[in-house]
Amino acid sequence: MSYEELREYLKLLKDKPGFLDIRIEWKVINSEQVIACNPGKQMGLQIADAVASSAYYAVQPSQHGYTEDRYIRMLKPVIYHYQGRYLGYGLKFWPREVDENLEKKDQLSWVRVDFK
């Protein structure tokens, strides 16, 4: 996803407050300030990278066809959720076509069981 696509997505969410029942505190988000930072330049980015990596490897098959969901499951207690729902809140998959895979692929059943 490009930064421009992310800015457009944030603008869509802001312009349509009822869209997907999204709750964002817009006083703290400025889509025009979305930038890329080199590793080690910002405190907290290593944590964000570790969380993003755990989600990535949980759904992206290795060269041998295996996924590793242990780490994202371990992080579940600290992932943002709303009324018990994680998908669409603290856990988002991109692009939208992933939703079909989440529903059909056996290796992604952990998402249906533990994070819906």
Per-residue pLDDT of the chain (116 residues; tens, 9 = 90+): 677 888 888 888 888 777 666 777 888 888 888 877 776 677 778 888 888 899 889 888 899 988 899 999 999 998 888 888 888 888 887 776 777 788 888 888 888 888 87
Range of the domain at 9: 1-36
How many domains, the chain?
1
On whether residue 46 sits in a domain, the answer given is: no
Distance CA 82, CA 42 (A): 28
On whether residue 11 sits in a domain, the answer given is: yes
Q: Which pLDDT score is estimated for 20?
A: 65
Q: CA–CA distance from 48 to each of 21, 63, 83 (Å)?
A: 24, 25, 23
Q: Which residue has the tokens 């059909």?
A: 104
On whether residue 7 sits in a domain, the answer given is: yes
H or E element at residue 50: helix 45-59
Q: Which phi and psi angles does 104 have, rounded to 5°?
A: -105, -35
Distance CA 4, CA 77 (A): 31
Instruction: Please indicate, yes or no, whether the overall pTM of this predicted structure exceeds 0.85.
Output: no
On whether residue 71 sits in a domain, the answer given is: no
On whether residue 80 sits in a domain, the answer given is: no
On whether residue 25 sits in a domain, the answer given is: yes
On whether residue 16 sits in a domain, the answer given is: yes
